Structure 1
Amino acid sequence: MIVLGAGPGGYTAAFRAADLGLDVVLVERYPALGGVCLNVGCIPSKALLHAAKVVDDAAVMADKGILFGKPEIELDKLMSWKTSVVERLTGGLVGLAKKRKVRVLQGTARFEDAHRVAIEHGGETQHLSFAHAIVAAGSEAVMLPDVPEDERIVTSTGALSPTALPDSLLVIGGGIIGLEMANVYASLGCKVDVVEMTPDLIPGADRDLVKPLARRMAQRCRHLWTSTKVTGVKANPKSLTVSFEGKDAPDSERYDRVLVAVGRRPNGGRIGADAAGVAVDERGFIAVDAQCRTNVGHIFAIGDITGEPQLAHRASHMGKVAAEVAAGHKAGFDAIGIPSVVYTDPEVAWVGVTEKQAKADGIAVEKGSFPWAASGRALGMGVDEGLTKILFDGETGRVVGAGAVGPGAGELIAELGLAIEMGADAEDIALTVHAHPTLSETVGMAAEASLGTLTDLYLPKRG
């Protein structure tokens, strides 16, 4: 077995294949294992978001009788801590690979034919043959066209390792990555503007979940422009001049740094797929079946390169399936719901069918929701805004979707993901005793709201 790419999907596939007795080679183009997620994505961004939350939480307590001075940011120490978190995890992967006897090769791999790859590194090329291959080559950040090459214009990779904090920052893109980075930089004291081309932030999420976050980001950032397009970026010696087109945006504005967070492009065009007969579409995606096979039976593909959602946890689950199928086991990737989490403050999370999707697809759903303004735990945390909601199939009564906004929403969504996978209905959740006072009990109360048994709020009886 050869695995191309050592991100969450790739290393999971390699380790699972080795556990099942396959001889595995894992190829990674970067010096460290873990891919984008561990090195320049999920993990370092969450470390910095935690630092940002500490700053925000301290500020919130000022009107509650606990005052802290203005935070002093020692950027070198903060970056060193972030790096230590990453290195601890990447070092752990090296140890796990050795224990499983997975051979790790650094280099860029391309197919030569359906059973051979060429691995280039340091001017040398190594040729390997394989019985099975798993393509886990991931994706890369998209840069806007006609934007000048300038070290002050960065993607999320550059934004996660600043050598100095800019006085002003423009974030182009109001999706998950853009808002997370805007949260970090604003909390660290930068003047941050966010521009989003569509009418809403996080377009894929329901508006009731995004609304509390949008209000908080409007307070945190200097400007937050939606339905606005960036029409040009000009690099000046001391600043970047950005021009806009939108109802509320200025004609132009100057910034010290610009972060482009407009999406990611799959790396399907970088692996020499044609030589192996693997079909890659015009966008760079590789289609797979439920067993994660490509159109070439012994070559599998997983993760970002196979389509949406481009999330690490989707990739790792697909990696296990591909490894098990290659080892002769019966397996399939048939997740009903894949959770999405925005790790801002407040967090936003959802899983399964959204209300927006249900309306567009004509799916009849019933909703139970519980506002955190009625949660003792939330109020005790200084949170009077938040929401937990559950969507039930209009015919079967089973959970088909759910969402939450507020501190720890990403943790709450796990119970609801399990409810979807297990085919739970409102009574299954409502009759599960949740600890009090906790945020998790808002899940049970949302189910009670659907059933009409909720006592913590007065809801008019439905006919």
Structure 2
Amino acid sequence: MPLWRGGTLRSDMDTFDVLVIGGGPAGYVAAIRAAQLGFKTACVDAFERGGKPSLGGTCLNVGCIPSKALLDSSERFEMISHDTAEHGIQVAQPQIDVSKMLARKDGVVDKLTGGVAFLFRKNKVTSFHGYGKLVRQDGQEWVVDAAGTEVKAKNVIVATGSNPRALPGVPFGGHIVENSGALQIDQVPGKLGVIGAGVIGLELGSVWRRLGAQVTILEAMPGFLMAADDAIAKEALKQFQKQGLDFHFGVKIGEIKQDDSGVTVTYEENGSQVTAQFDKLIVSIGRVPNTGGLNADGVGLALDERGFVKVDQHYRTNLPGVYAIGDVIGGAMLAHKAEEEGVALAEMIAGQAGHVNYDVIPWIIYTSPEIAWAGLTEKQAKERGLNVKTGQFPFSANGRALGHGDPRGFVKVVADAQTDKLLGVHMIGGGVSELIGEIVAIMEFGGSAEDLARTIHAHPTLSEVVKEAALAVDKRAIHM
């Protein structure tokens, strides 16, 4: 029998105004917003953690939230191990209890996933635990198999997310893990291999490096963080190599074998064959849309050549009354992008003007130092034929950063040379994940570098670096 939370079904074929398939950031936010708008709403979600239903999808269960918990724990460990002496604090050799660290991470996840279940009850969203499948259209409504029970819905939102991409012929299991497996490693590996120098690879590689692992990162692309601004990528690579991460770019992965002792990876680098042995191997080479259980072929739901659900600018699929949002439609695979699509779509169904500005979506990598940006890189702006001017200011000239003992990195502002409009802002440094919100707000309103420069920033704060970088666009930074 399916597990019910929230509303109560009144018949074997109850009808909902909105039925969401998937309870991740796109799905649960869409369901809550639809319920707020007065729709009779349900959500069917199959995610389980520890053998129990757990709303929140990949992000809350095995992605964004647990990885940030481990990042914080590992950063505290490294700080105590290496950075307290200069503050006059003497600490005996610290020890890491991995099992307790993992338990804390799980506790954080429990609070947030339980919070989603509470919000469903509060907003009277009926929750089905199990898989959702499109069955057939019945007049103006869709019949959906929701966890083994057929229900009707006037509007169906597909928000089934994505799954980790595996290397061809190399399934996950044993010593070869993806993001969720990397969050469950129960002891610090002596040698950790990471295939993929993207967000997941960098963040999880950083966690285990700080705890004592020797980390090697193998990347197929010829350069590092090629989506980021060139200046940011260059600084980030310097900082990560200084920390001990061993990068290899332009590699071609060959044979991968594992046995009881670990994993052997053969790869080609600069024309030479290299064989490396690891205790654990994290594969983080991207994600693929999760559409396998939707019955897309059976009902004629159109997918593109990569398996993503095709939608128009209003998230409508080719099937009347069926919409799709989040990772399953491609684009930026970010939880906050998915959440905004969930809100926008619910409002569109209600006849309102839901909208997502894809030009100012913030991107963040929660390494140490953190990396964050919004808008165009300098290179992208020039490729679009725009004349640009830039300003840059280092955290090493900021009093708060020096007081924190973390003067790494800088802020770079890219503006239109004719109009002064902000085109993009790029940051690397401590705490920049919290600074990027200001940039998004100003860019959302079409602000300029002058607007940013004239805004009063409290002293002493890290945010002053943002102001100084904006002033530097016209070569009038005060403290440099």
TM-score range normalised by the length of the shorter chain: over 0.9
Residue 331 of structure 2 aligns with an amino acid whose one-letter code is E
The structure-2 alpha-carbon separation of the partners of 1:402 and 1:149, relative to structure 1 and needing over 3 Å to count, comes to closer
In structure 1, distance between residues paired with 2:385 and 2:122: 51
Residue 46 of structure 1 aligns with an amino acid whose one-letter code is K
Deviation at 1:207, TM superposition (A): 2.4
The structure-2 alpha-carbon separation of the partners of 1:117 and 1:86, relative to structure 1 and needing over 3 Å to count, comes to farther
TM-score by length of 1: 0.94
Deviation at 1:269, TM superposition (A): 4.4
Please name the residue that 2:162 is paired with. Answer: 139
Please name the residue that 1:407 is paired with. Answer: 430
The structure-2 alpha-carbon separation of the partners of 1:168 and 1:45, relative to structure 1 and needing over 3 Å to count, comes to same
In structure 2, distance between residues paired with 1:49 and 1:128: 42
Q: Secondary structure at the match of 1:349?
A: strand
Does residue 1:204 correspond to 2:227, yes or no?
A: yes
Deviation at 1:244, TM superposition (A): 1.5
Q: Secondary structure at the match of 2:281?
A: strand
Deviation at 1:149, TM superposition (A): 5.4
Map 1:101-140 → 2, pairs under 5 A = 101-114=124-137, 115-119=141-145, 121=147, 125-140=148-163
Which of 203, 206, 213 is 1:190 aligned to?
213
In structure 2, distance between residues paired with 1:134 and 1:200: 38
TM-score by length of 2: 0.90
Alpha-carbon contact 1:147-1:232 (below 8 Å) kept: no
Higher deviation after alignment, 433-442 or 354-363: 354-363
In structure 1, distance between residues paired with 2:420 and 2:70: 41
Does residue 1:237 correspond to 2:254, yes or no?
A: no
In structure 2, distance between residues paired with 1:15 and 1:278: 25
Please name the residue that 1:161 is paired with. Answer: 184
Please name the residue that 1:9 is paired with. Answer: 26
Alpha-carbon contact 1:110-1:272 (below 8 Å) kept: yes
In structure 2, distance between residues paired with 1:249 and 1:360: 35
Please name the residue that 1:55 is paired with. Answer: 77
Alpha-carbon contact 1:210-1:405 (below 8 Å) kept: no
Which of 300, 325, 328 is 2:351 aligned to?
328
Alpha-carbon contact 2:144-2:153 (below 8 Å) kept: no
Higher deviation after alignment, 150-159 or 272-281: 272-281
Residue 257 of structure 1 aligns with an amino acid whose one-letter code is K
Please name the residue that 1:461 is paired with. Answer: none
Q: Secondary structure at the match of 1:134?
A: strand
Residue 168 of structure 2 aligns with an amino acid whose one-letter code is P
Does residue 1:32 correspond to 2:50, yes or no?
A: no
Deviations, residues 76-112 of structure 1 (Å, cap 9, x unaligned)? 1111110000000111111110111101001111211
Which of 305, 316, 319 is 1:293 aligned to?
316
Please name the residue that 1:370 is paired with. Answer: 393
Please name the residue that 2:109 is paired with. Answer: 86
In structure 1, distance between residues paired with 2:262 and 2:338: 39
Deviation at 1:118, TM superposition (A): 4.2
Two-structure CA RMSD over aligned residues (Å):
1.8
Deviations, residues 124-149 of structure 1 (Å, cap 9, x unaligned)? x2111110011111000001012255
How many residues are matched? 454
Map 1:260-339 → 2, pairs under 5 A = 260-339=283-362
In structure 2, distance between residues paired with 1:249 and 1:54: 39
Higher deviation after alignment, 129-138 or 139-148: 139-148
The structure-2 alpha-carbon separation of the partners of 1:424 and 1:223, relative to structure 1 and needing over 3 Å to count, comes to same
Does residue 1:22 correspond to 2:39, yes or no?
A: yes
In structure 1, distance between residues paired with 2:364 and 2:117: 28
Higher deviation after alignment, 100-109 or 143-152: 143-152
Please name the residue that 1:44 is paired with. Answer: 66
Residue 413 of structure 1 aligns with an amino acid whose one-letter code is I
Residue 414 of structure 1 aligns with an amino acid whose one-letter code is G
In structure 2, distance between residues paired with 1:246 and 1:361: 34
Higher deviation after alignment, 56-65 or 395-404: 56-65
The structure-2 alpha-carbon separation of the partners of 1:276 and 1:219, relative to structure 1 and needing over 3 Å to count, comes to same
The structure-2 alpha-carbon separation of the partners of 1:148 and 1:306, relative to structure 1 and needing over 3 Å to count, comes to closer
Residue 39 of structure 1 aligns with an amino acid whose one-letter code is N
Deviation at 1:165, TM superposition (A): 2.5
Identity of aligned residues (%): 40
The structure 1 segments of at least 4 consecutive aligned residues displaced by more than 6 Å after TM superposition are none
Please name the residue that 2:478 is paired with. Answer: 455
Alpha-carbon contact 1:335-1:421 (below 8 Å) kept: no
